[in-house]
Amino acid sequence: MKKMILLISVILSMLCVTNVFAGEIDGIEGISVPEYQTVCGNLPYHDMYSAGGCVCFYPREEFYFSNGCLWQCVNCYTLLATENEPGNAAGLPIGKYASSAWYYSYDVSGLCFFYALSGSYCYGTSLPGYRFNYYYY
């Protein structure tokens, strides 16, 4: 019981300190606190659109995954290759993914060979900082 009371009092004291600190920042003239962290331009995410299928390779020509999906951000042209489709109906995780900076719109109709410098794995069906779409007009 004493541990529970101690835990509650620590949490309440942390909340009070946090609220006072945030209030002090808002009160300073000329400083604004952003509501979200910008990722791409003024957006909190990359606005990704489907750019076709891909086969992804690691450095030294090591095979990473095949039959993947290629996505491109319409704002900064970043390319992202994913092993599975984000938000797929089967509920499969995104799996392996890799990204690369790009400097122009990538128009592909068919299969792309994507060479990644680094990669990672996602156990979920979405990636933080990315919004996936299928049509761009």
Q: Would you write out the chain's pLDDT as a tens digit for each of its 137 residues?
A: 655 555 555 565 554 444 444 444 444 555 555 565 677 888 889 999 988 888 888 776 666 888 889 899 999 988 899 999 888 878 889 998 988 888 888 776 678 888 887 788 999 998 989 999 887 55
Residues 69 and 108 grouped into a single domain: yes
What's the predicted TM-score (pTM) here?
A: 0.67
In the chain, how many domains are there?
2
Greatest extent of the chain over all pairs of C-alpha atoms, in Å:
66
Residues 126 and 71 grouped into a single domain: yes
Residues 111 and 70 grouped into a single domain: yes
Q: List the domain range (segments joined by +) for residue 79.
A: 46-133
Residues 101 and 56 grouped into a single domain: yes
Report the pLDDT value the prediction gives residue 60, as an integer from 0 to 100.
64
Instruction: Using alpha carbons, list the distances in angstroms from residue 96 to 2, 15, 67, 103, 107.
Output: 47, 38, 12, 23, 23
